[in-house]
Amino acid sequence: MSDPAPIADFLSHVHPYDSLPPAELTRVATAFIRKPMRAGDRIYSFGEPLDGLYVVQEGAVEVSDQSGNVVSLLGPRNSFGERGLSRDGYAATTADAKQDGAVLVLPPDEFRFMLDEHPSFRRFFDRSRPAETKRSDLATSRVSALMARDPITCPPGARVLDAAQLMKSHNVSCLGVTEQDRLVGIITTSDMVNRVLAAGLSGDVPVRQVMTPDPITLAPGALGTDILHVMIERRIGHLPVVEDGRMIGVVTQTDLTHFQALSSATLVQDIATALDARELADITARIPQLLVNLVASGNRHEVVTRLITDIGDACTRRLLALAEAKLGPPPVPYLWLACGSQGRQEQTGVSDQDNCLFLSDDMRPEHDAYFAALAKFVSDGLDVCGYFYCPGDMMATADRWRQPVRVWRDYFKTWVDKPDPMAQMLASVMFDLRPIGGDESLFSGLQAETLEMASKNSIFVAHMASNALKHTPPLGLLRGIATIRSGEHKNQLDMKHNGVVPVVDLGRIYALQGQITAANTRARLEAAEKAGVVSASGARDLLDAYDLIAQMRLEHQAGLVKAGKAPDNYLSPSALSDFERSHLRDAFVVVRTMQSAIGHGRAAPA
């Protein structure tokens, strides 16, 4: 058996082992088997039973798929083989030593034991979590997701009057009292009433005289249950959050109430009774915090984006109703449709608007003034609500995108028959259409007709496939992660255009090939597997890759919101652990492999 001491020391610097208690780390180190390797050695081959989970301790390992394509070049602290263990125990790849060194092998039974017993281990290695919606559970949410950041503080020698004015100017109910950046006390509005006014004290007394010294605190990693228990047992309404002696936030009873009250259903209910765009904007302004709550509660990306899109849909329908109330009933039936991320039900904390209007063929020229006014009312309202105007003017306010069904039918036929670059771009957008409000019969027949026509035109499909390859994963030399080289986002990854968009494009091609009516990317990938458009193994790999990329993007946005910043799509790889970067790189490799298959006229690798 290998000496566990150096193995334990090595693992203590490797995630997720670094999160294990010391005794458990020692125990699992004992279970590992150290195997030396020489450059050129075959560690395992595709389809063979796996000896366990591998961790590179020294040297380098090259991992390739069953077709011999290199998917990863792994150095020390990187793991491999977990995908096969998580499925059926057989290798899903081939691994060869590229440099002399050694690997550590964790036997299969021990690997499965660790998955069962340690949540951090399971979160890291198991990406097959159930897709059910989780509610925003206060009890199990982290304090870091609940607290107000950048707390307002004052020194202990400050006058009570100055402290009160500071609370008023910042609209807060408590101040942290700090000395040399360390928390020494807390003073609340209740203290001002009971210890100052009721006691007849002057506003000139120092804060240290009336503050609560050495208050009870919590760490950012504590749970909502810890907050509840402390507040109930100690009968307090404010809890400072402290890390390394420094106050980094505060949780109040009001914060807990807001967290519990904020849900997508609550926002949709409020939207249904809003009287104008300004009221709607006050409601949609709560979306970023909802995003934080949903991510903090462990919801998967497709659940979070669906719930956020539901709010955008409700907002659009409310604006349509308000428009009709102002303009009167429509002269002919109409249908408002969304495309882009809203059409695919994939909106995040950063979204513009992409929409169009289908009008009944009974429409006459004089009716357009009504629908132009309706489109302007709704698009202007959406802009006020934070769904900004489309830079490419892909909106119902443009005459071109507000037409009778017969014109739309001609649009699609022309794009399919003459697939020039502009036609490909427009077709890509319009294949993501989804009805939002109005007469849905105006679209249902046209959608099926267009899918059938497009799927049978091999030249059009080939052009669409070629167009789908314009967005590529950020992979560089030896398939390492390649960041943006210059500009505002230098050394960052664009998790939208180089992350989720390449998968979105693949999903759209599969939907076209299989005449799949779903607009949502994940639903398209699942349907493509069932329809035989993509091989089972290719679909599973792509779904896993998409889930990882999309989840990281959402978690990045939630982290920015918690830090008081606007959400964006630019992620710095330096903010990730070695393992996270390794998983992300592998996900990008999967996407690149699937793009390559499309480029060579295949649905997926065999």
Q: In the numeric block, which tokens belong to residue 306?
A: 């669906």
| Residue 230 contacts residue 239 (beta carbons within 8 Å) | yes
Q: From CA 467, how far away is CA 300, in angstroms rounded?
A: 29
Confidence at residue 24, expressed as pLDDT on a 0 to 100 scale: 87
Q: In the numeric block, which tokens belong to residue 328?
A: 């009167």
What's the topology of domain 4-125? Jelly Rolls (2.60.120)
Q: In the numeric block, which tokens belong to residue 143?
A: 């304090």
Q: Do domains 262-444 and 469-599 have the same CATH topology?
A: no
What's the topology of domain 262-444? Beta Polymerase; domain 2 (3.30.460)
* Half-sphere exposure in the Cβ direction for 463 (13 Å, CA): 20
DSSP reduced 3-state for 215: coil
* pTM for this prediction: 0.65
Q: From CA 9, how far away is CA 32, in angstroms rounded?
A: 13
Q: From CA 217, how far away is CA 450, in angstroms rounded?
A: 61
Q: Please, what is the end-to-end C-alpha distance for the chain in angstroms? A: 39
Q: From CA 348, how far away is CA 601, in angstroms rounded?
A: 33
What is the distance of C-alpha 570 from the center of its chain?
A: 12
Q: From CA 564, how far away is CA 136, in angstroms rounded?
A: 20
What's the topology of domain 469-599? Four Helix Bundle (Hemerythrin (Met), subunit A) (1.20.120)
Confidence at residue 67, expressed as pLDDT on a 0 to 100 scale: 64
Indicate the domain borders of the chain: 4-125, 143-253, 262-444, 469-599
What's the topology of domain 143-253? CBS-domain (3.10.580)
Q: From CA 430, how far away is CA 573, in angstroms rounded?
A: 34
Confidence at residue 131, expressed as pLDDT on a 0 to 100 scale: 40
Strand-pair category, 402-404 with 355-359: parallel
Q: From CA 494, how far away is CA 56, in angstroms rounded?
A: 29
Strand-pair category, 153-154 with 174-179: parallel
Strand-pair category, 182-188 with 212-213: antiparallel
pLDDT in tens, 304-334: 898 899 899 989 999 999 999 999 999 999 9
Cα–Cα separations (whole angstroms), residue 465 to 277, 349, 416: 40, 29, 13
Is the backbone of residue 11 left (phi > 0), alpha (psi -120 to 50) or beta? Answer: alpha
DSSP H helices, 418-470, are 421-430, 441-455, 458-468
Helix %, strand %, coil % of the chain (to 5): 50, 15, 35
Q: Identify the segments of the chain with pLDDT beneath 70.
A: 1-3, 66-67, 69-73, 126-140, 257-262, 477-479, 599-606
Confidence at residue 128, expressed as pLDDT on a 0 to 100 scale: 44
Q: Which residues of 466-487 are buried (b: 16+ CB within 10 A; e: fewer)?
A: ebbbebbbbbeeebebbbeeee
Reading across the β-sheet that carries 434-438, which strands appear in turn?
402-404, 355-359, 334-338, 434-438
